Amino acid sequence: MMGRRNYEALVDREDQQLQKQLLRKSWWIMAVVAMAGGVAIFCSSSHSPNSHQHQHTIPTLLSVVHHETGDYLVALNNPVYERLKKAKFHDTLLVANNAKEIPSLHVNRYQIGVRDPLTLHWTLGQNIQGEPFLDEDKDLITLHCGDKTMDLRAMDPSTDFLDAATIAQARSTSCRHSGEAHPQKWHIPSFPILRHEICQFALYKALPDTTDGQPQYALLDRTDPIEIESSRTLPTGIHLALGSTPNEMVVQFTSGDVHPHFPRNQEGTPVARYSKQGSKDDAQKATGTSHTYSAKDMCEAPANITEAGKFQSPGMIHVIRLVDLEPNTAYEYKVGLSHGQGITWSDSYSFLSPPLVTGDAAPHSYLVYGDQGCPATGWGDGGKWVAAMTAREVLNPKDKNQPIRSVHHFGDLSYAVGAAHIWDAWLNMISPFTTKVPLMVAVGNHEYDHLSGGGNGKDPSGVKNEDGYRPTWGNFVNDSGGECGVPTSNYFTMPNSTKSNGVFWYSYDFANVHTTVISSEHDLAPGSVQYQWLEADLRSVNRTLTPWLIVESHRPLYESQINWENNDVGIVLRLELDDLLVDYKVDVVLTGHYHAYLRTCDGLHNAKCHNGGPIHLTIGSAGAAFLDTDLYSNSWTDKFIKNEFGYGRITVANATALHFEFVKAGDSDDKTAGEVHDEVWIVRER
């Protein structure tokens, strides 16, 4: 094995040997340019993910793509993983006699920070005929990680890998992510969030299968261990939420598992420092609580299976309450983990504390949407665009005197559906704004719905039966990939109110608005636990202090698409809730689920406009794959926009007037991004 010796001459020599192989790959458009130091190879993809298909792909940890199609490999069903799990492994000696030169594997850095770039390099080696020893379609690179005290060489290569790719897949992935390809490099622009201290890549030669069909591999080389600085203690996924009272803010973040070498009484206490902006001398200190979850807490597969592409430890999840806040005041804060060797702090951030709850509150704005996901899911860039534009509105508001005060995401959050690494990727994607304003969430079908395993107290919503909520008239299946709300309820702490139910149903006041969040994935029939809570909550609203009453749910009541399974659910939700919304004079219902934008007429009740009910707004366009289905003929749809990513902006002008805008999302080259493509004023007589 070559270790870290200089191997650039071998790489240069082997560039030309691989050109013919590269040119055979249909995904590559190659331009070979002679240069003084060798050959430069540029690539572009002939394929792009289709954002108009509802079936989505959950990528692997390193977002590996297929070398011929350019599609992301599916983390939950990866043929490379399946071969490795069945394989028999041999050491290098088994293939040494067939090689004039054994291939080697290296990285450009052996110490990186969380989310830093990293580049792998390999040499092709030579067989005894002088040809490249590596078979790019069969030979593999695998990733293994652990603690400093562990010998990564002792890991079981068939089960202890976190990701794997053929040589061809590694090179194609590098091309997809960086826009340029070198025949023997894999550039990883942002190493994933892992809570391991060291990682190592290994290079394997594929051997002929055994007579009974068992795959075989021989180890060719390993990189030296790569140290990931502060991987256990650095706060990641920081996000704010409104507290149970107007004078507090909740901040949550994640870190690594408790380190075995920390003293027992200093195992990693979450801490925060916060002060009024510009008054750091008066900083207050707060400590919090920590918790986590494991694969056995999940309801069913794939979420409860610990292996590559499925469950991996989320680390520790920390909750800190910042209390005694003065209303409508700018605060600075940072969070950290106290761990015996000191405190590993995050960067410093700022937020604006909630205003007083009063009917004559000053105008304020917030953003709303559902159905986002992470752009790594192969849907294209819609989720990234919405996240970036949300961050831009939060960090640089058009009206400095009226900043965005919160973001509401009513279900279908990360679309991890059992692939735990997606939660980290999604929380990282949205962190530019979740560190500044509260993120208030609801659960959708892709967070909760499951078919089995929910009994014995596993279901965090308190449902006792095995399969959650599965009425005969609904399409409630295993959309969560077996997660059954466990990650969502652990990652997000929402306000407590009388008989509320964590992240599943709750309510809160902000300025002159009372927001009630319900779960469309649970029973809402009259007499059910949730219905009784909902009616009591609506009844308790003080319309003098909070004249605006808004209900948020993942699934819409007025589902108008030509999809009768979803329409059946909407019809039942109307039968259950329509009269209740009228009885308590709900002003607005905000929903997602349908991956498009839809606005109904105002006053909608019993499918009739201007009939004493609320206006219903569906904003399911925050990044999830578009639905091509049109609407059936109905009398209540005033505006419908499909195949367009976007989000909603609500501005509460005063106690009687509220302005809603649908804003188109796009990349920096899209001149129409940021345009308001629909708007409506909602005016109420109080």
pLDDT in tens, 364-408: 999 999 999 987 655 568 999 999 999 999 999 888 888 999 999
pLDDT value, residue 150? 75
| Reported confidence tier of residue 337, pLDDT bands at 50, 70, 90 | very high
pLDDT value, residue 258? 59
Q: Which residue has the tokens 């394929």?
A: 47
Residue 29 has pLDDT above 80, yes or no: no
pLDDT value, residue 267? 60
Distance CA 324, CA 666 (A): 40
Beta carbons within 8 Å of 683's beta carbon, 6+ residues apart = 656, 657, 658
| Residue 562 DSSP one-character state | S
Q: What residue type is 90 in one-letter code? A: H
Helix (H) or strand (E) holding 173: helix 167-178
372 within 8 A of 412, measured Cβ to Cβ: yes
CATH architecture of 8-229: Sandwich (2.60)
Query: What is the average pLDDT value for the chain, to the nearest integer?
Result: 90
Q: Which residue, among 427, 432, 440, 438, has the nearest Cα to 388 in the 3D structure?
A: 432
Say how far residue 241 (Cα) sits from the centre of its chain: 17
| Reported confidence tier of residue 38, pLDDT bands at 50, 70, 90 | very low
Residue 31 has pLDDT above 50, yes or no: no
| Reported confidence tier of residue 56, pLDDT bands at 50, 70, 90 | confident
574 within 8 A of 566, measured Cβ to Cβ: no
Distance CA 162, CA 151 (A): 16
Which is more confident, 243 or 28?
Answer: 243
Distance CA 388, CA 261 (A): 39
Task: Please give the sequence-ordered ranges of beta strands (E in DSSP) within 620-666, or none if there are none.
Answer: 637-641, 646-652, 657-664
- Is this structure's pTM higher than 0.85? yes
Q: Indicate the angle between helix axes 564-583 and 529-540, nearest 10 degrees.
A: 40
CATH architecture of 358-683: 4-Layer Sandwich (3.60)
Residue 586 has pLDDT above 90, yes or no: yes
List every span in the chain annotated with CATH 3.60.21.10. Answer: 358-683
- DSSP codes joined into one string, 302-351: TTT-BSTTSB----EEEEEEE-SPPTT-EEEEEEEEE-SS-EEE---EEE
Other Cβ atoms less than 10 A from the Cβ of 534: the count is 22
Which is more confident, 23 or 584?
Answer: 584
Distance CA 378, CA 75 (A): 12
Q: Indicate the angle between helix axes 421-434 and 382-395, nearest 10 degrees.
A: 30
Q: How much is the average pLDDT of 592-617?
A: 97
pLDDT value, residue 617? 99
pLDDT value, residue 13? 43
For 420-441, how does the pLDDT look when each residue is reduced to its tens digit (9 = 90+)? 999 999 999 999 999 999 999 9
Q: Which residue has the tokens 């799990």?
A: 85
Residue 155 has pLDDT above 90, yes or no: no
Helix (H) or strand (E) holding 609: strand 608-613
Q: How much is the average pLDDT of 164-172?
A: 96
pLDDT value, residue 346? 97
Q: Which residue, among 303, 466, 291, 439, has the nearest Cα to 367 in the 3D structure?
A: 439
pLDDT value, residue 43? 58
Distance CA 212, CA 226 (A): 37
Q: How much is the average pLDDT of 330-335?
A: 98
Residue 604 has pLDDT above 90, yes or no: yes
List every span in the chain annotated with CATH 2.60.40.2840. Answer: 8-229
How many helices (H) and strands (E) in the chain? 10, 39
Distance CA 215, CA 627 (A): 41
Which is more confident, 134 or 263?
Answer: 134
pLDDT value, residue 262? 52
Which is more confident, 663 or 561?
Answer: 663
